[in-house]
Amino acid sequence: MQEPTFLILTALAAGPQHGYGIITDAGEISEGRVRLRTGTLYTALDRLRGEGLIEVDREEVVDTRMRRYYRITAAGADALAAEVQRMRRGAETAALRLGAAGGLA
């Protein structure tokens, strides 16, 4: 799972959101580091829908502007939880090895 995908799922883990909201949320989650591109976002949303990790929650029209809300599925939450485990273990292992090498150098 790459970072944009991770940020999209994490954004939706807090509750349903529409595309543009995901972009701003992903910026906050990554502490301003990542600005999701619309090309990345909307193709990723289609892909994740196809994989069953997210689904359309509802569609609203606010001031003539359409908003399509997405929500994370149980499968999506499982995939994200698995990714969290992978990241935690990977980070620990890498930190240990970096620390050992730095400590001996």
Q: Is 89 helix (H, G, I), strand (E, B) or coil?
A: helix
Residues contacting 19, CB < 8 A, separation 6+: 38, 41, 42, 45, 68, 70
Contacting range for a copy of itself; rule: CB under 8 A; set: 23-31, 39-47, 49-57, 58-66? 23-31
In Å, the largest CA–CA distance within the chain is 64
Does 94 participate in binding DNA (rule CB under 7 A)?
Answer: no
Measured CA to CA, the distance from residue 10 to residue 4 in angstroms comes to: 10
Q: Which is nearer to a copy of itself, 27 or 65 (CB)?
A: 27
Q: Which of 4, 22, 29, 46 binds a copy of itself (CB under 8 A)?
A: 29
Both tokens of residue 26?
């992903």
Q: Which of 31, 32, 61, 64 binds DNA (CB under 7 A)?
A: 64
Residue 53 interacts, among a copy of itself, DNA, none and using kind-specific CB cut-offs from 5 to 8 Å, with none
Tell me which residues touch DNA (CB under 7 A): 2-5, 18-21, 24, 36-40, 42-47, 62-68
